[in-house]
């Protein structure tokens, strides 16, 4: 096995010290001379026509420097990543479509004055009928949110592969079930923040809490009517994102617009109540799924209809709709597949990507139903998964090409928890224990429309340290450390010799950002290529000094030596100085670019290979249920994840444990509650919104299953996001194992458990 000095080692994160000491600067921490503070005026109504906005009183308030409404904008609408036909204005134009829709913004000398000014803006509304349920929204005669969308259908997918009806006829067991998932917030601790300054040259410089600065870089000049070169996006540290900070939002635009209007820097920071009541969320879904299986457990066909409650605007809903259908072909062999997916407009908060982006909802339904089928056929739930598991070299029915795949090994290792049953002692009559499994397949950087190439540069300094420049964003997942370890390994350096430069559109290469678990695989490959380019430049100089061919040189432990004659060697620093100081002197700057060699999939039909490689994994959960109270306690979990090669095993474990926490919250606790007829948030703070805490977490045993991907940098691929997909069904299946009752709506609360048990007893 190849030996590495940095890759594969349990090293501390490169940003650990600055974050632990408070030195790390986030967007909300930043201050500029003469800076103004901005605030947003939001709609109190779920659906209303804007008749008039009077900003006069607010503008006359001492300390207010500017007020902007839609009339101050160019009318640019954003959203719809695939088609580029947005429907969401940065400030509401003719209508508001949910409680919290942005109507106006103010800039003042301090936050209190800005807040007071909001109260002085008079908005005249004509109230309109609202609709909050997606099925009701699709009915004839329902209130229309957008005139272009008949029956409030924002977009629809129809996927047909094989002969589903023939598959059902060949099946010995066919089940049809409806599963429902709830709206879930991203729950990042750092709220959205934006700081913009417009200078005398007509240039905007922007700092914001963005997972994908590239999206803002592309949208801001369009929205403001500026040339691309007149917009600079600088990325500070980020306090978590989970998919909720990818897009350019109203505060980003209005901070820049207010700065242009005042000539002063403007900062806008949302409060957590704004984030929770008006920010993005995970799609709640209604899923009707039908699965046919042979008597030996072989999956014959799957048919699924999903209605996703997308809220007031489409955001990236077209991608969500595609993902929900396409992943029905993962992680098992499914020869016949049919899917109809709807993204529906309602007068709710807008939905976007959240860790797993549409996949957790679908796999919760499919994995839960698989356990119900296994029970009907008297097959072990683990065996039915092993029977159908995808293998290396498989092609799915919709065109996914499976290269490295450790699913079978993950399932087999998950099966080792069966010994847990042997450890159970006698329980009181009101306590039941159960074990459940879940499995998944997930992308490592999907091929989406538009720019999909990652670029990187590695600059070698005269003292032998290096700077890595990449547009990839570390939103808390540890990718800065991962990219630094890749560069260090290629050049034979210690991690302390690597500095990763934060994304800056004027300096760092373009990179679409952090989404779809793409950074390690896509940006990591770009860094690997850039570091190798720098190494080759140094090797040309080293070969002359050591009397060897460049390809014979080895870079390791900050030394450079001849592979077959290690006595011929020199310190890395000496080589760098020789390269920089001799002759005309040269700057060692490596460049690298990487994009998966894929065609963009057909998002309408679902055909095509979405990702250059896929991660796989399995999870086992042990639960204890109190049948008197309905309380569920997750006591133990075993997590197996095929990550290709673990660049840093400690970071992989952290990602897996974090995903377990997020999945546990969706399974048992989290739910964004709105007034049935008002659309008003009932739990818009972390005091009322039930997040899992440390006491809710089970004992976790996690393990990386290394398959060494042929394309990933050093064999690495996605690590962590996929795990959240299998957490929910592992828990719900464990409850099913304990009680013999499947709760088909999330979250699985004590009330639902008691009602299900009561119904079971009646039958």
For 271-301, give the DSSP string: -HHHHHHHS-BBPPEEEEEEEEE-TTS-EEE
* 103: enclosing H helix or E strand: strand 102-108
Which residue reads 């899917």 in tokens?
339
Task: Give percent above pLDDT 90 in the chain.
Answer: 92
Task: Provide the pLDDT confidence category of residue 81 given band limits of 50, 70 and 90.
Answer: confident
Cα angle: 182, vertex 186, 190; to 5 degrees: 155
Least confident of 441-455, 480-494, 634-648, 715-729: 441-455
Tell me the pLDDT tens digit for each residue of 306-356. Answer: 999 999 999 999 999 999 999 999 999 999 999 999 999 999 999 999 999
What backbone torsions phi and psi does residue 166 show, to the nearest 5 degrees? -65, -35
CB-based burial, 482-519: b 16+ in 10 Å, e otherwise: bbbbbbbbbbbbebebbebebbbbeebbbbbbbbbbbb
Judge contact between 39 and 109, C-beta under 8 A. no
Nearest-angstrom CA–CA distance, 245 and 507: 22
Q: What is the mean pLDDT of residues 37-45?
A: 98
Are both 16-23+453-594 and 31-128+191-240+245-269 of the same fold? no
Backbone torsions φ then ψ of 315, nearest 5 degrees: 50, -125
232-270 residue pLDDT tens: 999 999 999 999 999 999 999 999 999 999 999 999 999
Q: Any idea what DSSP says for residue 395?
A: B
Banded pLDDT at 212 (limits 50, 70, 90): very high
**Tokens standing for residue 479:** 């990718």
The per-residue pLDDT for range 326-340, each reduced to its tens digit, is 999 999 999 999 999
Give the SS3 label for residue 431.
strand
Sign of CA dihedral 407, 604, 85, 101: negative
Q: Tokens 């996914």 label which residue?
A: 400
CA-CA distance, 498 to 482, in Å (whole number)?
Answer: 11
pLDDT (average), residues 153-167: 97
Average pLDDT over every residue of 362-384: 98
The secondary structure of 568-633, three-state, reads EEEEHHHHHHHHHHCCCCCCCEEEEEECCCCCCCCCCCCCCCCECCEEEEEEEEEEEEECCCCCEE
Position 297 pLDDT exceeds 70: yes
Residue range 116-132: mean pLDDT, rounded: 98
Unique residue bearing structure tokens 């897009």: 247
Q: Which CATH number fits domain 16-23+453-594: 3.30.70.2860, 3.30.365.10, 2.30.30.110, 3.60.21.10?
A: 3.30.365.10
Contact predicate 141/315, CB 8 Å: no
The pTM of the whole model exceeds 0.95 = yes
Q: Which tops the pLDDT comparison, 37 or 82?
A: 37
User: Could you give phi then psi for residue 608, rounded to 5 degrees?
Assistant: 125, 160
Listed residue (1, 9, 5) closest to 482, CA to CA: 9
pLDDT of residue 452: 77
Instruction: Encode 641-688 in three state secondary structure.
Output: EEEECCCCHHHHHHHHHHHHHHHHHHHHHCCCCECCCCCCECCCCCCC
Q: Please, what is the average pLDDT of the chain?
A: 96
What is the reported pLDDT for 1? Answer: 46
Under the banding of pLDDT at 50, 70 and 90, the label for residue 100 is very high
Contacts of 247 (CB under 8 A, 6+ apart): 78, 79, 212, 215, 280, 315, 316, 352
Tell me if 501 sits within 8 A of 468, measured CB to CB. Answer: yes
User: Which has the closest alpha carbon to 79: 244, 247, 307?
Assistant: 247
Q: Which of 77-86, 595-604, 641-650, 696-705 has the lowest mean pLDDT?
A: 77-86
DSSP letters, 186-210, are ---SSPPEEEEEE-TTS-EEEEE--
Structure tokens at 25: 């600067």
Instruction: Return the CATH number of 285-447+601-762, one of 3.20.20.70, 3.30.365.10, 1.10.3720.10, 2.40.30.10.
Output: 3.30.365.10
Rg over CA atoms, the chain: 27
**Alpha carbon distance 610, 601 (integer Å):** 6
Beta-carbon count within 10 A of 551 CB: 9
CA distance 17 to 14: 8
Instruction: Please determine, for residue 546, whether its predicted confidence score (pLDDT) is greater than 50.
Output: yes
- 25: Cα separation from own chain's centroid: 23
Q: At what angle do helices 359-377 and 723-739 cross, to 10 degrees?
A: 30
Residue ranges in 327-457 assigned as alpha helix (H): 359-377, 381-388, 407-414, 419-423
CATH 2.40.160.50, domain 31-128+191-240+245-269, yes or no = no
pLDDT tens-digit map of 214-226: 999 999 999 999 9
- Report d(CA 402, CA 746) in Å as an integer: 31
Listed by start position, the domains of the chain span 16-23+453-594, 31-128+191-240+245-269, 285-447+601-762
pLDDT in tens, 416-432: 998 999 899 888 999 99
Whether residue 633 has pLDDT greater than 90: yes
- What is the pLDDT at residue 763? 72
Residues whose CB falls within 8 Å of the CB of residue 80, separated by 6 or more in sequence, listed in order: 86, 87, 314, 315, 316, 317, 318
Residue with tokens 């450790």: 406
Pairing mode of beta strands 337-345, 299-311: parallel
Task: Indicate the pLDDT class of residue 560, thresholds 50, 70 and 90.
Answer: very high
Mean pLDDT of the region 665-689? 94
**Ordered strands of the 173-181 beta sheet:** 153-161, 337-345, 299-311, 285-293, 173-181
What is the separation of C-alpha 114 from the centre of its chain, rounded to a whole number of angstroms?
A: 33
Phi/psi for 369 (5° steps) reads -65, -35
- Nearest-angstrom CA–CA distance, 719 and 396: 22
Beta-sheet pairing, 204-208 with 614-626 = unpaired
- Predicted pLDDT of residue 2: 66
Q: What is the mean pLDDT of residues 713-720?
A: 92
Amino acid 71: pLDDT: 98
Distance CA 123, CA 43 (A): 9
CB atoms within 10 A of CB 462: 14
Q: How far apart are CA 532 and CA 713, in angstroms?
A: 12
Neighbours of 421 (CB within 10 A): 11
Number of neighbours of residue 76 by Cβ within 10 angstroms: 17
Determine the Cα–Cα distance for residues 93 and 69; give it in Å rounded to an integer: 8
E-only strand ranges, 112-201: 122-127, 153-161, 173-181, 193-198
CA–CA gap between residue 554 and residue 574 (Å, rounded) = 15
Which pLDDT band, with edges at 50, 70 and 90, does 597 fall under? confident
């Amino acid at each position: 096995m190849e030996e590495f000095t940095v890759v594969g080692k349990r090293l501390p994160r490169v940003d650990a010290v600055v974050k632990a000491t408070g030195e790390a600067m986030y967007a909300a921490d930043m201050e500029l001379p003469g800076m103004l503070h901005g605030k947003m005026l939001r709609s109190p109504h779920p659906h209303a026509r804007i008749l008039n906005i009077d900003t006069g009183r607010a503008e006359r308030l001492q300390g207010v420097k500017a007020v902007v409404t839609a009339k101050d904008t160019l009318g640019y609408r954003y959203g719809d990543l695939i088609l580029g036909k947005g429907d969401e204005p940065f400030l509401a134009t003719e209508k508001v479509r949910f409680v919290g829709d942005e109507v106006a913004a103010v800039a003042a000398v301090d936050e209190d004055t800005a807040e007071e000014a909001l109260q002085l803006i008079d908005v005249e509304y004509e109230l309109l009928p609202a609709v909050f349920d997606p099925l009701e929204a699709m009915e004839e005669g329902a209130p229309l949110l957008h005139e272009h969308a008949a029956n409030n259908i924002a977009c629809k997918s129809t996927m047909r592969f094989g002969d589903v009806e023939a598959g059902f006829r060949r099946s010995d067991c066919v089940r049809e079930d409806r599963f429902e998932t709830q709206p879930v917030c991203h729950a990042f601790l750092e709220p959205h923040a934006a700081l913009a300054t417009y200078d005398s040259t007509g240039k905007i410089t922007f700092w914001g809490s963005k997972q994908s600065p590239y999206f803002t870089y592309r949208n801001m000049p369009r929205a403001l009517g500026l040339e691309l070169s007149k917009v600079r996006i600088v990325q500070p540290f980020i306090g978590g994102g989970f998919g909720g900070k990818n897009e350019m939002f109203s505060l980003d635009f209005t901070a820049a617009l207010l700065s242009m209007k005042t000539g002063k820097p403007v900062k806008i920071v949302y409060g957590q109540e704004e984030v929770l009541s008006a920010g993005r969320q995970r799609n709640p879904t209604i899923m009707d799924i039908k699965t046919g299986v042979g008597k030996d457990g072989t999956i014959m066909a799957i048919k699924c209809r999903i209605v996703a409650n997308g809220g007031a605007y489409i955001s990236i809903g077209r991608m969500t709709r595609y993902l929900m259908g396409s992943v029905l072909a993962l992680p098992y062999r499914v020869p016949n597949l049919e899917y109809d997916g709807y993204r529906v407009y309602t007068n709710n908060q807008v939905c976007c990507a959240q860790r797993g982006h549409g996949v957790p909802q679908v796999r919760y339904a499919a994995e839960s139903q698989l356990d119900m089928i296994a029970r009907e056929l008297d097959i072990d739930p683990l065996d039915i998964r092993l029977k159908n598991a995808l293998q290396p070299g498989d092609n799915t029915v919709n065109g996914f090409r499976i290269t490295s795949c450790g699913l079978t090994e993950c399932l087999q290792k998950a099966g080792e928890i069966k010994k847990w049953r042997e450890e159970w002692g006698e329980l009181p009559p009101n306590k039941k224990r159960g074990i459940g499994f879940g499995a998944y397949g997930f992308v490592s950087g999907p091929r989406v429309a538009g720019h999909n190439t990652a670029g990187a540069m590695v600059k070698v300094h005269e003292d032998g340290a290096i700077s890595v420049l990449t547009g990839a964003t570390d939103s808390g997942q540890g990718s800065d450390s991962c990219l630094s370890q890749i560069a260090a390994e290629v050049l034979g350096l210690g991690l302390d010799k690597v500095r990763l430069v934060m994304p800056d559109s004027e300096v760092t290469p373009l990179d679409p950002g952090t989404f779809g678990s793409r950074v390690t695989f896509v940006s990591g490959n770009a860094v690997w290529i850039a570091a190798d380019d720098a190494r080759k430049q140094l090797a040309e100089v080293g070969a002359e000094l050591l009397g060897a061919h460049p390809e014979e040189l080895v870079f390791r432990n900050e030394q450079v030596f001849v592979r077959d004659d290690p006595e011929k060697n020199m310190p890395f620093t000496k080589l760098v100085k020789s390269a920089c100081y001799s002759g005309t002197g040269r700057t060692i700057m490596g460049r690298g670019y990487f994009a998966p060699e894929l065609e963009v999939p057909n998002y309408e039909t679902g055909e095509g290979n979405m990702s250059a490689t896929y991660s796989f994994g399995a999870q086992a959960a042990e639960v204890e249920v109190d049948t008197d109270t309905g309380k569920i306690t997750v006591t133990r979990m075993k997590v197996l994840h095929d990550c290709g090669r673990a660049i840093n095993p400690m970071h992989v474990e952290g990602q897996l444990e974090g995903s377990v926490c997020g999945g546990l919250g969706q399974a048992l606790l989290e739910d964004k509650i709105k007034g049935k007829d008002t659309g008003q948030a009932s739990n818009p703070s972390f005091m009322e919104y039930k997040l899992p805490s440390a006491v809710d977490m089970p004992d976790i045993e996690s393990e990386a299953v290394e398959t060494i991907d042929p394309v990933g940098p050093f064999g690495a691929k996605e690590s962590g996001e996929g795990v959240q997909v299998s957490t929910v069904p592992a828990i719900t299946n464990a409850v099913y194992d304990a009680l013999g009752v499947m709760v088909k709506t999330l979250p699985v609360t004590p009330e639902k458990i008691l009602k299900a048990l009561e119904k079971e007893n009646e039958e």
